[in-house]
Amino acid sequence: MTSPLTAVGGTPFTAPLATPLPKEATYQGDIARGSPTARVRLVQEWLSLYGIRTSVDGDYGGATSAAVKLFQTRNVLPVTGIVDRATFDRLVAPMLAALHTIAPPPGATLGAMTVAYARQHLAQKPREVGGENMGPWVRLYMDGNQGAEWLWCSGFATFCQRQAATTLGVQVPVARTFSCDDMARGAKRAACFVAGCPDFRAITPGSLFLVRKTADDWQHIGIVTSAERDAFHTIEGNTNDDGSREGYEVCERVRAYDGKDFVVVH
């Protein structure tokens, strides 16, 4: 599908999407005082993601109107305090940019394209907003779900992998899941599970890493972008600069092999 929205930086374009834009991120009419609470919350979430902090409470009051005006001013839009189509499209532009299709180079693999999509998402700085495991990015990765119980590391990793598979017209080795344990069990059934790291050269870009808690329990997952003898590089969601399994953003990290298993993707 294509969508005539606005790219980051303000340049209009019609981009093919590797994954359909969520309904909430499509224009459904102006948003102003008296608009449905869910639509107002969405505006407040995106304003906060842009650094224009206002309460995410679903109430389109004076503070939200002022925040919208500031966003419109910064983006050279008519300053009305009302979220019209142009303002809405600019608000959600980072999500469109994360979802547009990457043209695969000749010989592209599922792993390489998974990394490419992960980098495309990383560039848009996805993060939580409005509470623990809350906000439009979490809902995107978790198929509309959000809240404290919805840890989204696997949602992010498998979302990027699904974009890659859709682009290449291939199957993923393990079905998309929000559970680290289910991912490990599925990888074992598919014979693509690597316990520990006997040889770093076996860990290909686009493989998934699993943080092992016990022999049959895993607590975090992310995407391997490259592997070296003593460490590997990642892009991962629901983490932070400290590498927490319950963080708030998508970020890059460098991790040691201790306590890690892998789902190898080629």
What is the per-residue pLDDT across 28-58, written as a single tens digit (0 to 9) for each? Answer: 999 999 999 999 999 999 999 999 999 999 9
pLDDT at 15: 58
- Three-state secondary structure call for residue 26: coil
Element (H, E) at 38: helix 37-49
Look-up of token digits 């859709």: 166
d(CA 8, CA 49): 13
Contact by Cβ (8 Å): 192, 265: yes
pLDDT at 197: 82
d(CA 191, CA 174): 10
Cβ–Cβ contacts within 10 Å for residue 90, how many? 24
Q: Tell me the domains of the chain and their CATH numbers.
A: 2-96 (1.10.101.10), 102-263 (3.90.1720)
Q: Which two tokens stand for residue 85?
A: 């189509």
Element (H, E) at 247: none
Query: pLDDT tens digit string along 5-26?
Result: 334 334 333 557 888 899 999 9
Q: Does the global pTM surpass 0.75?
A: yes
Contact by Cβ (8 Å): 136, 45: yes
d(CA 214, CA 90): 45
DSSP E strands: which ranges in the chain? 2-3, 15-16, 193-195, 208-214, 217-227, 232-239, 249-255, 260-263
d(CA 239, CA 24): 25
Q: Which residues contact 129 (CB under 8 A, 6 or more apart)?
A: 45, 48, 49, 56, 135, 136, 137
- The stretches in the chain having pLDDT less than 70 are 1-15, 241-245
- Three-state secondary structure call for residue 246: coil
Contact by Cβ (8 Å): 65, 33: yes
d(CA 1, CA 26): 13
